[in-house]
Structure 1
Amino acid sequence: MIAGPVPVIIPAAGAGRRMKADIPKQYLEVSGKTILEHTINKLLSHPATGQIIVAVSDEDPYFEQLTVAQHPDVRRVSGGKERSDTVLNALSDLLERQSVDWVMVHDAARPCIRHEDISRLVDELSDEECGGILAVPVRDTMKRSDQTAHIKHTVERAMLWHALTPQLFQASVLHQALIEAKASGIAVTDESSALEWKGYHPRLITGHADNIKITQPEDLALATFYLSRNKEETC
């Protein structure tokens, strides 16, 4: 049983250059609020989550302008150069201030996360050695290319998954894995990959495909649709 509210780290120090916007993508507006506000509100309104630690660049002028930045359960910390640096900074800050057993990490640009998926993640990982992640099975035919974008071969999609967030891990285990991966120069693309490098086997918990990460301009319209459909889950 995972006891007590679980703190959530939101790495939000990136620029999101693929959006081709004048501001970081987490501050673009969807349905009257910024993407980051939707994400934070969705997490704050779930009973299993506790403090929200938002890691942003020290030069970020936008976060403090958000109403949610003044929420008593929202804390700003300094981000880093890479995502893994940002999460490590936030997790180190958290562990210095309080004793924490479990921690979630959730992408700033995933505002459409469903409450039911957060509940499933928490409920199903209570007996796991290190934790696990939300994910969805790959449905499309997968191709591997060469460096010139020509197909080399078709990849068997059985047992392939799209990794999502939140990802939920024992805080001390994740912290140590991130420290060692950084010291060894290991590329960490998500929190699970740091634990995989250490020899752990995080569990995959089936989520919903509408938990999209807003990356391209065309994702904004899709996020608007999903948020309007699930607006009862925001606070």
Structure 2
Amino acid sequence: MTSRFFALIPCAGTGSRSGAPMPKQYRTVAGRELLHFTLAAFDACEELMQTLVVISPDDAHFDERRFAPLRFAVRRCGGASRQASVRNGLDALTEFGATDDDWALVHDAARPGITPALIRSLIATLAADEVGGIMALPVADTLKRVDLERGDRIARTESRNGLWQAQTPQMFRIGMLREAIARAERDGHDLTDEASAIEWLGHAPRLVQGSLRNFKVTYPEDFELVEAILAQRPSA
């Protein structure tokens, strides 16, 4: 049986660092809610069987009608952490026929600069991979290690050779990712993304070249930048 592709978008965060009066995924940018641009990119990819949005059980901002006619489903199974939301979302994907051998593309709701071309590039690169991988960018800036005892004083400069900045989507087999998250949780490992869970199992995920436009909206000043990016017509 040929493996299929499913998208999973954890969308249960509060976005407290963004300075917005609501979760940042619902803030209007370039005439649409930020989440709309994320969903539209996945909707344009016919390779995907289903896109599942995971929101908090008490989310009062989400209105499915505002995202019509985009193709997606929503489940109110978000957890207290991203990791919990992803775990619950993986379980919910079984409702749509997903099996352990199928692929899940986990993507941050607050990365609206994702494009269909980037998604297709990830799928094409990893579809035959034994582990899976993530979108990422080589680190371009000089990195400084802070002296924690002295606050904002530099302790030393770190080499950026071989360093990449993780992005999403992160694409792994559903069964492997579920097992990896469960193992990491049992071992008390603090997960920062899906790849770190897979690494915890001893695997080496592959890196696929991402894009600067696919950055994560986090701080108040990010909204102006992402609006300028989204106002331009992306490549298909």
| TM value normalised by structure 2 | 0.92
Note the 1:72-91 alignment, pairs <5 A: 73-91=72-90
Residue of structure 1 equivalent to 2:215: 212
Note the 1:23-62 alignment, pairs <5 A: 23-62=22-61
Q: Please state how far the C-alpha of 1:39 moved relative to its aligned partner.
A: 0.7
Q: Please state how far the C-alpha of 1:71 moved relative to its aligned partner.
A: 5.1
Note the 1:137-216 alignment, pairs <5 A: 137-147=138-148, 148-216=151-219
- Counterpart code for 2:181: L
Matched residue of 1:144: which SS? strand
Matched residue of 2:108: which SS? coil
Aligned residue pairs: how many? 232
Q: Please state how far the C-alpha of 1:49 moved relative to its aligned partner.
A: 2.2
Q: Please state how far the C-alpha of 1:231 moved relative to its aligned partner.
A: 4.9
- Counterpart code for 1:198: L
Matched residue of 1:78: which SS? coil
**Matches of 1:123 and 1:195 in 2, distance apart?**
20
Q: Please state how far the C-alpha of 1:70 moved relative to its aligned partner.
A: 7.3
- Counterpart code for 2:94: L
**Matches of 1:161 and 1:42 in 2, distance apart?**
24
Q: 1:209 to 1:70 in 2, by over 3 A?
A: closer
**Matches of 2:42 and 2:68 in 1, distance apart?**
14
**Matches of 1:140 and 1:185 in 2, distance apart?**
32
2:39–2:70 CA contact under 8 A, matched in 1: no
Q: Which consecutive residues of structure 2, in runs of 5 or more, have no partner in the other structure?
A: none
Q: Please state how far the C-alpha of 1:93 moved relative to its aligned partner.
A: 1.4
- Counterpart code for 2:214: N
Q: 1:161 to 1:232 in 2, by over 3 A?
A: closer
2:40–2:70 CA contact under 8 A, matched in 1: no
**Matches of 1:51 and 1:229 in 2, distance apart?**
27
Q: Percent identity, aligned pairs only?
A: 38
One of 224, 228, 231 as aligned partner of 2:227 = 224
Q: 1:57 to 1:104 in 2, by over 3 A?
A: same
Q: Which runs of 4 or more aligned residues in structure 1 lie more than 3 Å from their structure 2 counterparts after TM superposition?
A: 2-5, 69-73
Residue of structure 2 equivalent to 1:15: 14
1:37–1:66 CA contact under 8 A, matched in 2: no
Q: Please state how far the C-alpha of 1:153 moved relative to its aligned partner.
A: 1.0
Q: Please state how far the C-alpha of 1:84 moved relative to its aligned partner.
A: 0.4
Q: Please state how far the C-alpha of 1:133 moved relative to its aligned partner.
A: 0.2
- Counterpart code for 1:168: M
Residue of structure 2 equivalent to 1:120: 121
Deviation track 1:103-128 (CA, whole Å, cap 9, x = no partner) reads 10000000111222111111111222
1:13–1:55 CA contact under 8 A, matched in 2: yes
Moved more, 159-168 or 182-191: 182-191
**Matches of 1:64 and 1:76 in 2, distance apart?**
12
- Counterpart code for 2:48: T
Q: Which consecutive residues of structure 1, in runs of 5 or more, have no partner in the other structure?
A: none
